[in-house]
Structure 1
Amino acid sequence: MSKTFYRIGQIVPSSNTTMETEVPALLRSREAVAPERFTFHSSRMRMHKVTKEELVAMNREGLRCAAELADARMDVMSTACLVAIMAMGPGYHRTVEKELEGVVRENHCDAAVMTSAGALIEGLHIMGARRISLMAPYMKPLTRLVVEYIESEGIEVVDALSFEIPDNLDVGRRDPMQLIEDVRKLNISNVDVVVASACVQMQSLPAIEAIQSAIGIPVTSTAVCTTRRMLDKLGLDARIPGGGALLTAQFASSLSSAAA
């Protein structure tokens, strides 16, 4: 008999209020059209201000969080902070994933382990993105690090908007529908994909389909990519209504090759 219930684990910054809403919202939408059911579980790392110093300190807590989630026998677990990983330098998500997986296996859990940073890169590759533009809440120096990280993975960033919100709670309070207006300031000439939120805390899910319709270009976000990769890791169909192009039949055929 095939598995029907899955436990979703996230390693979340203590001030993050978005990944525990957007990822469940997407998977609840999937429950309306598919038989699988999901429960959601988190462990938190302390962080208030989105500065490199706080991000470095927060990263040290990730292994503790992975062990805690392993105790509850997750089926898949992911970090829920993109910039904390990308600020550490190119390719760092692979290092983090290996370290987290080591802790998870030591604690006798078989969960698939991933990062939101890696999920964004992988999601963009699934979409065949070579040129993108993105929006982010970070201060400009942190946005530059994110841009450099993405470009180190072979994806050109044509333009990036920085909203320069230092307090992580304020990032989570930003009206996602404002992105529909913000995208008008973004250079999207000849890009393959627009990333509505290159941040797991900046809400974007309610606006993704509207932006996509307005600009005629595939639109995604870090939360959407994280959800997609969770489903890939679980070997489940990744089509979900309302989540933008990555969660449609257009890119569903990439599931088997991307599942590793």
Structure 2
Amino acid sequence: MTAPAVPHHRIGLVVPSSNVTVETEMPALLGRHAGATFSFHASRMRMHTVSPEELRAMNAQRGRCVDEIADAGIDAVLYACLVALMAQGHTDGRGEHDHVERAVVDQLADRGLAARVTSSAGALVTALTALGASRIALVMPYLRPVAELVVGYLEAEGFTVADWRALEVGDNAEVGCIAGDRVLGAARSLDLTGADALVLSACVQMPSLDLVQRAEDELGLPVLSAATAGAFTLLRSLDLPVDLPGAGGLLRLDSPVGAR
């Protein structure tokens, strides 16, 4: 008897031009899935310094990037720059991630594609909600004024940010080179009293994939990152089980009891 074919999904990534991490961590994560295979198709928006001005200029390139990945016939999209959306705040009672995700859905529909769409910003909100987390702690690479925008955005989404650390790195290329020991050191310095979850990297450019399970085991609470939240939301949007080993409890939510 022939075994059923394993489904394959094409994932479109819209990333800042200086980002080198999401195209490493996302394939590494989804490559652990036992029931599907994935390919990744990226388009890049020019951005080097994480400043409000460059983030706005980067977001203005969204239309071109979505058209480019649409040509690949993608099944799902991750708009992979968390701070680019959170820095824009909320309008009409909705976060910028909601506005952008709907705009991308509409643009793809005009091309005849019914792809699932999420953003790193929206994925983090979705993942924290799925964990039942209301009181959270954050580690971010950003300069303090930008980090404060992220804190404000998450609080406007209904979360209480109990404590946070900003590593004060403005050059996005340098963010991709931040050492794991520095990230873990920042996490260990947080006051996690009463926290429901720790976001170890609120940025898809700051490497953290190898640290998530280690931090969760050490600190004794759910630990996630922008990357693991993105993988979680992509899997859910594609109606695939969330069961990826070695990257924290968020990505074992559909695993058998005791397997996390």
Q: Could you say whether these structures have the same fold, taking a TM-score greater than 0.5 normalized by the shorter chain as the test?
A: yes
Cα deviation per residue 1:102-146 (whole Å; 9 max; x = unaligned)? 111111112111111000001000000010000000001111100
Counterpart position of 2:23: 20
Deviation at 1:214, TM superposition (A): 0.9
Tell me, what secondary structure is at the counterpart of 1:83? helix
Counterpart position of 2:250: 246
Amino acid paired to 1:100: V
Amino acid paired to 1:44: R
In structure 1, C-alpha distance between the alignment counterparts of 2:106 and 2:209, rounded to whole Å = 32
Cα deviation per residue 1:43-98 (whole Å; 9 max; x = unaligned)? 00000000000000000111111111111110100101000000001311111011
Amino acid paired to 1:37: T
List gaps (5 residues or longer) in structure 1: 254-260
Normalization by structure 1: what TM-score? 0.93
2:136–2:162 Cα contact (<8 Å) kept = yes
Deviation at 1:243, TM superposition (A): 1.3
After superposition, where does 1:49-88 map in structure 2 within 5 Å?
Answer: 49-88=49-88
2:241–2:254 Cα contact (<8 Å) kept = no
Tell me, what secondary structure is at the counterpart of 1:173? coil
Cα deviation per residue 1:154-190 (whole Å; 9 max; x = unaligned)? 1100111000001000000112243222212111111
1:70–1:111 Cα contact (<8 Å) kept = no
What is the aligned-residue identity percentage?
Answer: 43
RMSD: 1.6
Deviation at 1:15, TM superposition (A): 0.2
Counterpart position of 2:150: 146
Amino acid paired to 1:80: A
Query: More displaced, 196-205 or 171-180?
Result: 171-180
Tell me, what secondary structure is at the counterpart of 2:235? helix
Amino acid paired to 1:29: R
| Structure (1/2) with the larger helix percentage | 1
In structure 1, C-alpha distance between the alignment counterparts of 2:255 and 2:164, rounded to whole Å = 25
Counterpart position of 1:258: none
1:106 aligns with 2:110: yes
2:77–2:115 Cα contact (<8 Å) kept = yes
Counterpart position of 2:174: 170
CA gap of 1:231–1:250, structure 2 versus 1, over 3 A, is closer
Counterpart position of 1:8: 11
1:194 aligns with 2:198: yes
In structure 2, C-alpha distance between the alignment counterparts of 1:239 and 1:250, rounded to whole Å = 5
In structure 2, C-alpha distance between the alignment counterparts of 1:119 and 1:170, rounded to whole Å = 24
Pick aligned residue for 1:205 from 190, 209, 225: 209
CA gap of 1:122–1:66, structure 2 versus 1, over 3 A, is same
In structure 2, C-alpha distance between the alignment counterparts of 1:205 and 1:104, rounded to whole Å = 30
In structure 2, C-alpha distance between the alignment counterparts of 1:95 and 1:251, rounded to whole Å = 33
CA gap of 1:56–1:195, structure 2 versus 1, over 3 A, is same
